[in-house]
Amino acid sequence: MRAVPADALLAALAAVDAGLQLDDHTPLELALSAAACAALVVRRRFPLAVFLLSLPAALFSSVVVVPLAALYTLAARSRNRRLLVGCAIASALASALPWPLSEYAEDDRFWTFVDFVYLLATAAAPVFLGQLVQAGRDAADRLAEVEEAREHERRLHAQSVVARERAQLAREMHDVVAHQVSLIAVRAGALQVGAKDTETREAARAIRGLSVTTLDELRHMVALLRASGGRTAEPAAQPTLADLRQLIDTSGIEITLTGELPSGIGAPAERAVYRTVQEALTNVRKHAPGATTVCLWREDDGLGVTVLNTPPTRPLLELPGSRVGLIGLGERAENLAGSFEAGPTSDGGYGVRLCLPATTD
């Protein structure tokens, strides 16, 4: 938009220049000169057409602004060198030839040639300037492309660094955690076979089952960490409400499951409910082993799960806790436009409540 006033100003300047050069003019000469001056307003869109309109004005009088501006614009936008050379020669020839041609005398040939040479040098100036501007524009574009390529290379390097770190973390998890959990599973299996009383065998069986499940989930996490940064990977098997009963049966805790949720509530909601119950039962085993109630509920405006446990009925296990799991559950609920609450109850127990919109997909 800023170019329009500049072009209009240039056209006005060219009109003043043409008016000063036209002494005894005919209506045709005046019309062609006016058309050439007015065409400078659209010189950026039609550079070749504007230059061709400038030739009559250069032939009729010694105008300067119109041919030079037209040549510069054409040179700044055209890459055809032969066309530019021809246009420069045509402009110099139109300015050098006397008008009207009927008054041309043989004695004027020498001075006409001299004028042509000087005018050709003058016409070459806007051509060179336009080509220089075009070259600067091309250089700026190349520089922008180089900078973009460097930025892309930096991003690829950063992604490769992250990928290496993820792969290293995956190896550490596999070598350390998997080894320890495998030992737990083996010891639990040996205890299950060698134990004499039923309660010990059942506890060993539950420990071995949990260890196997943990190893399976660990394999999925290792595969996720090893996935490349450009692709997203999901664990092979995402938990659903159908897996909730198995989670409760293998928890090793006295749990009462009540209520139910309708089918078709969406995979994200099912995973949120499952992970909430899983984290709550993990905290119960770690910090408050006792009777626990898992209640699935559905209301008019929402659905969710509530996990309540009584005060500890058995000795506590001295296991570390960072509340990272609860924070993650809160973030998961927030992503689903729901809410998450966790805190002690009035009877000394602990409660966890997840609420999700009924329309969660």
Determine how many CB atoms are found less than 10 A away from the CB of residue 320.
Answer: 5
pLDDT (0 to 100) of residue 24: 61
DSSP characters over 311-358 = SPSSPPP-----SHHHHHHHHHHHHTT-EEEEEE-TTS-EEEEEEEET
Q: pTM of the predicted model, to two decimals? A: 0.43
The H or E element containing residue 41 is none
Work out the burial of residue 222: count CB atoms within 10 Å of its CB; fewer than 13 is exposed, 13-18 middle, 19 or more buried.
Answer: buried
Using CA atoms, how far apart are residues 138 and 223, in angstroms rounded to an integer?
A: 46
| Residue with the two structure tokens 């949120």 | 272
| Residue with the two structure tokens 């960072």 | 322
Look up residue 147 and give its DSSP letter. H
- Token pair of 76 as six digits: 């700044």
What sign results for the dihedral spanned by CA atoms 220, 225, 226, 230? positive
Using CA atoms, how far apart are residues 287 and 291, in angstroms rounded to an integer?
A: 13
Determine how many CB atoms are found less than 10 A away from the CB of residue 42.
Answer: 14
Residue 323 one-letter amino acid: R
The H or E element containing residue 296 is strand 292-298
pLDDT (0 to 100) of residue 296: 92
CA nearest to 280, candidates 300, 251, 302, 259: 251
Using CA atoms, how far apart are residues 210 and 142, in angstroms rounded to an integer?
A: 60
In the sheet where 339-344 sits, what is the strand order?
255-258, 292-298, 302-309, 350-357, 339-344
CA nearest to 52, candidates 5, 87, 3, 8: 87
pLDDT (0 to 100) of residue 308: 92
Q: CB–CB of 336/356 below 8 Å?
A: yes
Per-residue pLDDT tens listing for the chain (361 residues): 456 677 677 777 777 766 666 666 667 777 777 777 777 778 888 888 888 878 877 777 767 778 888 888 888 888 888 888 888 888 887 777 766 655 555 556 666 677 778 878 888 888 888 889 888 988 998 998 899 889 988 888 888 887 777 777 777 766 667 667 777 877 787 787 787 888 888 888 888 777 777 777 777 777 777 665 444 444 445 778 888 888 888 777 788 899 988 877 888 888 889 989 988 888 887 777 778 899 999 987 889 999 998 888 766 555 555 566 788 788 888 888 889 999 888 888 889 999 998 765 5
